[in-house]
Chains A and B, each alone.
Chain A
């Protein structure tokens, strides 16, 4: 079975550029989560969706970050404009329900902002 698919796996761009990270959740999963991982702060939840609707975006660091889920099989996390401190690994995860069911993570996008 296909797991959570993220693209690109690596992204290197210059400060000020727009960055778009993509995620395809596992088919049938109704929850989607975006996380960010850095050495300093560890793994942090940024935002999550239920049935394509954003439920909690309290972890989004600032207005430069935005996330959308136009349909059940696709989500984007956008940073505009990007800054060097946004460099991190960004993970997408999905789950079927938010009860006891585990979250399944993709392999992440390693983002470097120069």
Chain B
């Protein structure tokens, strides 16, 4: 079973920041938080991952709370092409499987 809880759906206006929350209250000290997204009819795409520090790359930012029980994926300027299902996953660094939950369906609207 997935160890994360995400809202089933969210809307965001084009050009605005999209903030996608994820709860992982049972996360262990050696588990990382990963985010993937799946655009319709495509395979999942890696976005970002982190352990306890905030992370940023060309796609998004990941904010992890100090107690590590929750995190937020931030798409700073959402576009229509960011419409997708976003999956938050916790996994250990070595030998950890990716266990996908139901994710959050993000709709970016003009």
Contacts and interface: CB of A to CB of B under 8 A. Distances in A.
Q: Bound pair: A and B?
A: yes
Interface of A: 4, 33, 42-45, 48, 56, 91, 93, 98-100, 102-108
Contacts, number: 43
A43 B44 contact: yes
Interface SS of chain A: helix, strand, loop or mixed? strand
B102 A42 contact: yes
A111 to B, nearest CB: 14
B98 A45 contact: yes
Interface residues of B, number: 21
Contacts of B38: 43
B46 A45 contact: no
A4 B42 CA distance: 12
A100 B32 CA distance: 8
Given A42-B101, A42-B102, A98 B96 contact: yes
